[in-house]
């Protein structure tokens, strides 16, 4: 049978774009359908605009610190509208670059929502299109719990486009997005309350990092309330009125939910092709991204394995190599370095102390707690903390963690070493870069008493 395309990709986000481009490079006839904007969550309403906002919010602290270095900083002020419009212009530029890259690779971009109608067919705008292979790369969408009045809450999607900076904002959730946005708004001078239902924010991260992030966020004036959730939201002329689980109430200009993201599979027609879905509607795939239907694959957040852009990109690339490049490639999901752009940021790779203990039993833990040099004259009390977990039987570093200035930049290099399975002795044999915060990773000599 002759198909319209060799590959039809649904979703032009990080995973879909990479898969399309690489497959086209192998000579495949590729089309990608996108219902919003080419670039997907990360570029349009995620990692990229978020990081621009993180940069913007840090200046208040930088101006303060500059005084300690002899600078006289004049009166400063911050204009939300300027930031948002400049950020939007940059996102437009990147969106254009993504489109150009796809077109340059010979990929046809189709604007619209595609729905799967069978193992080799999709429908789009009333048109039936056939393809030898279909790749589902539709990503995820913010999950909002069922709370009365939830329609008055925003998510990170809307936070990027608010007309005004909320002077008082409540952030619900204790994961990546919650702590990042709490830091952003606080840096810009908003009163920020973070409500987390559990005992300690950032579940899944190393406990020491979780403790320290809480302390540093509180030091910056964020009201972190654990063991607390929202039971009801009412709209006021001036914002929102919240009722909390402890019976107390509070008012704010906005309430933002950062309570996880769910796979974007609803109404996608996957049932028509009998594609098996798992928990929360995630597309079930094998190690190569293949679903239970031979002609349908999925990559990225829609599979709900590791919700990170670089992972989706690796999965998209591996898919293209496997199906169109003649090289079956299964992307590894171990030792994935990741950063949280909280303030201060977190960088982490490998296992937390508790996970390492469970997996290896006998471990050594090395820690270092220090005041970054910039903060001595800068006058900030913010501290940095590094931690390494070593499997005693092999000497291998199985976890490396940091919270502090530049943690995201530092952990990328450390990630290579952990991924390569290097030992603590090999870290120790490496000469330190001095003076830096990164050098702690080669200078920690005495294991902590367990």
Active site residues: 434
Summarize the chain as % helix, strand, coil (round to 5).
Answer: 35, 25, 40
In angstroms, what is the minimal distance from the CB of 239 to ligand NDP? 20
List binders of ligand NDP among 169-188 (CB under 6 A).
172-178, 180
Stretch that binds ligand NDP, among 339-347, 357-365, 378-386, 388-396 (CB under 6 A): 339-347
Q: Are strands 168-172 and 191-196 parallel, antiparallel or unpaired?
A: parallel
Q: Would you say 67 or 203 has its CB closer to ligand NDP? A: 203
Contacting ligand NDP (CB under 6 A), which of 189, 260, 269, 325? 260
Stretch that binds ligand NDP, among 28-36, 69-77, 167-175, 243-251 (CB under 6 A): 167-175
Q: Is 339 in the site for ligand NDP (CB under 6 A)?
A: yes
Q: Is 259 in the site for ligand NDP (CB under 6 A)?
A: yes
Contacting ligand NDP (CB under 6 A), which of 330, 338, 368, 426? 338
**Whole-angstrom distance between the N-terminal and C-terminal Cα of the chain?**
65
Contacting ligand NDP (CB under 6 A), which of 21, 45, 261, 317? 261
In angstroms, what is the minimal distance from the CB of 229 to ligand NDP? 5
In angstroms, what is the minimal distance from the CB of 177 to ligand NDP? 3
Q: Would you say 186 or 261 has its CB closer to ligand NDP? A: 261
List binders of ligand NDP among 272-311 (CB under 6 A).
307-308
List binders of ligand NDP among 143-162 (CB under 6 A).
145
Nearest position to ligand NDP, beta carbon = 175
In angstroms, what is the minimal distance from the CB of 389 to ligand NDP? 21
Q: Is 341 in the site for ligand NDP (CB under 6 A)?
A: yes
Q: Is 17 in the site for ligand NDP (CB under 6 A)?
A: no
Q: Would you say 127 or 203 has its CB closer to ligand NDP? A: 203
Residue ranges that bind ligand NDP, judged by CB under 6 A: 145, 172-178, 180, 196-198, 203, 229, 258-261, 307-308, 338-341
């Amino acid at each position: 049978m002759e198909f319209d395309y060799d590959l039809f990709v649904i979703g032009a986000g990080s995973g879909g774009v990479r898969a399309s481009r690489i497959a086209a490079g192998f000579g495949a006839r590729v089309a990608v359908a996108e219902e919003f904007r080419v670039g997907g969550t990360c570029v349009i309403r995620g990692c990229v605009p978020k990081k621009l906002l993180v940069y913007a919010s840090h200046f208040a602290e930088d101006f303060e610190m500059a005084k300690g270095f002899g600078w006289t900083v004049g009166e400063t002020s911050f204009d939300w509208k300027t930031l948002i419009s400049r950020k939007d212009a940059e996102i437009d530029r990147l969106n254009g670059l993504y489109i150009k890259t796809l077109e340059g690779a010979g990929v046809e971009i189709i604007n619209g929502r595609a729905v799967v109608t069978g193992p080799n067919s999709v429908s789009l705008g009333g048109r039936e299109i056939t393809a030898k292979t279909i790749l589902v790369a539709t990503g995820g969408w913010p999950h909002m719990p069922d709370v009365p009045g939830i329609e008055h809450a925003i998510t990170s999607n809307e936070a990027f486009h608010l007309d005004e900076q909320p002077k008082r904002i409540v952030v619900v959730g204790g994961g990546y997005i919650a702590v990042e946005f709490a830091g952003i708004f606080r840096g810009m001078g908003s009163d920020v309350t973070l409500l987390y239902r559990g005992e300690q924010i950032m579940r899944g991260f190393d406990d020491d990092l979780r403790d320290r992030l809480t302390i540093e966020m509180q030091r910056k004036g964020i009201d972190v309330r654990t063991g607390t959730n929202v039971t009801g939201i009412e709209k006021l002329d001036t914002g929102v009125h919240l009722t909390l689980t402890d019976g107390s109430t509070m008012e704010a200009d906005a309430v933002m939910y950062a309570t996880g993201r769910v796979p974007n599979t609803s109404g996608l027609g996957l049932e028509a092709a009998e594609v098996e879905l798992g928990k929360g509607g995630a597309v079930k795939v094998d190690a190569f991204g293949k679903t239970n239907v031979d002609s349908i694959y999925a990559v990225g957040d829609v599979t709900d394995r590791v919700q990170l852009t670089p992972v989706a990109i690796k999965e998209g690339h591996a898919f293209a190599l496997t199906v169109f490049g003649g090289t079956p490639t299964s992307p590894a999901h171990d030792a994935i370095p990741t950063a949280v752009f909280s303030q201060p940021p977190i960088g982490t790779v490998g296992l937390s102390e508790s996970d390492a203990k469970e997996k290896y039993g006998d471990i050594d833990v090395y820690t270092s707690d220090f005041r970054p040099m910039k903060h001595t004259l800068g006058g900030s009390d913010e501290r940095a903390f590094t931690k390494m977990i070593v499997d005693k039987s092999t000497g291998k570093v199985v976890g490396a963690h940091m919270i502090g200035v530049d943690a995201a930049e530092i952990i990328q290099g450390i990630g290579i070493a952990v991924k390569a399975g290097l030992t603590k002795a090999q870290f120790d044999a490496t000469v330190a870069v001095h003076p830096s915060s990164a050098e702690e990773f080669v200078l920690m000599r005495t294991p902590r008493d367990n």
